[in-house]
Amino acid sequence: MKFIILFFLTFFTHILYAADILQKDDASKVDPMDLIAIISVSKILWTLLFFVIAYIFITFFTKALEFFAEKSSKARITIKGLIPIIRIALWAAVIVIIVKVIYHPPMEMLMTALASVAIAVGFATQDLLKNIFGGIMLLFDRPFKVGDKIEVGENYGEVINIGLRATRIVTPDDSMVIVPNMELMNTSVSNSNSGELYCQVVAKIMLPIDAPMDKIRKVAIETAQVSRYIYLNKPIEVLFTNRIYQHKSFLEMKIKAYVMDIRYEFKFKSDMTEIVIKELLAQGLVNKDELE
């Protein structure tokens, strides 16, 4: 659909210019045949063909980048962050090549046409332009990149695409959330990893109020270190908080550790919770009934 939209944008740019010059006074002596030379059936067909080829090439190229990004853990975030910028640059180059090579209009004609299109589109698609402006600002300001885990409102997930109109996020339950870019510009966004491959994960375990905190803290830290998903270059923290539930006091233990690859965030959280509970039970620091 993108190449069709771009095709008609280019085509109607020249139509608007044609209408403009035909309204000039007789002194200009514009020959309508000049318009046919600029906007001909053959040129329209060449434009359509070029857009089809460009669409196939850009799609293949970006898919190839995504493939190589998934193969490289260290460069995955960097490559995915560059894909939206590369895509926009390639489409901009396609439009420039078509206008300059296929139509090659005089500069006066080009400026007049672009001005006409800008005014018409500006009035007709104000909300769309706001989202496009927001998308451009996101690409330059970069509060997050493709591959980051962000939270927007009630939605949390991995950014898989930053488009000109909207940003796509995949949630942990594999749902696709499409957020308009202007909403992202006007809303607080929480970024879990800020372009890094690793991020902090918090696992919570409820314990009896009289549990031996010092021993449990030591066991939790030592046990969490054996998880295959842990990033050991960052510290592990264990915090305790008193919680009231159904008129009873409990200790809420938070284990804060870093996962080596943000894609394994929830696997790491589950793994860390499971192995810590098993070790606490094995050492008799808590009873099974107390964890239910």
Domain holding 160: CATH number?
A: 2.30.30.60
Clarify whether residues 178 and 205 are in a common domain: no
Q: Which residues pair with 201 in a beta bridge?
A: 257
Among 191, 224, 246, the domain boundary falls at: 191
Domain membership of residue 63 (yes or no) is yes
Domain membership of residue 107 (yes or no) is yes
Clarify whether residues 16 and 114 are in a common domain: yes
137 φ/ψ sector (left φ>0, alpha ψ -120 to 50, else beta): alpha
Walk along the chain (292 residues) and give the pLDDT tens digit of each residue.
444 454 455 455 544 454 455 444 444 444 545 555 566 777 778 888 888 898 899 889 988 888 887 777 667 767 777 787 788 788 888 888 887 787 776 666 666 666 666 665 555 555 666 666 666 677 677 788 888 889 988 889 888 888 777 888 998 888 899 988 888 878 888 888 877 888 899 999 999 888 899 999 999 999 999 999 999 999 999 999 998 877 888 899 999 999 998 888 999 999 999 999 999 999 988 887 766 6
| Domain membership of residue 150 as a residue range | 144-191
CA 221 – CA 216 distance, rounded (Å): 9
The contacts of residue 125 (CB under 8 Å, 6+ apart) are: none
Clarify whether residues 44 and 116 are in a common domain: yes
Domain membership of residue 131 (yes or no) is no
Clarify whether residues 9 and 118 are in a common domain: yes
Locate 237 and state its tokens: 């923290």
Clarify whether residues 16 and 83 are in a common domain: yes
Clarify whether residues 114 and 15 are in a common domain: yes
Clarify whether residues 27 and 116 are in a common domain: yes
Among 90, 124, 158, the domain boundary falls at: 124
Compute CA distances 96 → 5, 50, 99, 135, 165, whole Å: 15, 12, 5, 21, 21
Among 191, 215, 230, the domain boundary falls at: 191
Clarify whether residues 169 and 78 are in a common domain: no
Residue 278 phi/psi, 5-degree rounding, is: -60, -40
What CATH code is carried by the domain that includes residue 222? 3.30.70.100
Residues 211-264 have pLDDT tens digits of 899 999 999 999 999 999 999 999 999 999 998 877 888 899 999 999 998 888
CA 95 – CA 51 distance, rounded (Å): 9
Clarify whether residues 93 and 7 are in a common domain: yes
Clarify whether residues 155 and 269 are in a common domain: no
Clarify whether residues 248 and 184 are in a common domain: no
pLDDT of residue 73: 64
| β-sheet with 248-259: strand ranges across | 199-208, 248-259, 237-245
Clarify whether residues 176 and 209 are in a common domain: no
Structural domains of the chain, count: 3
Domain membership of residue 208 (yes or no) is yes
Domain membership of residue 134 (yes or no) is no
Q: pTM value?
A: 0.58
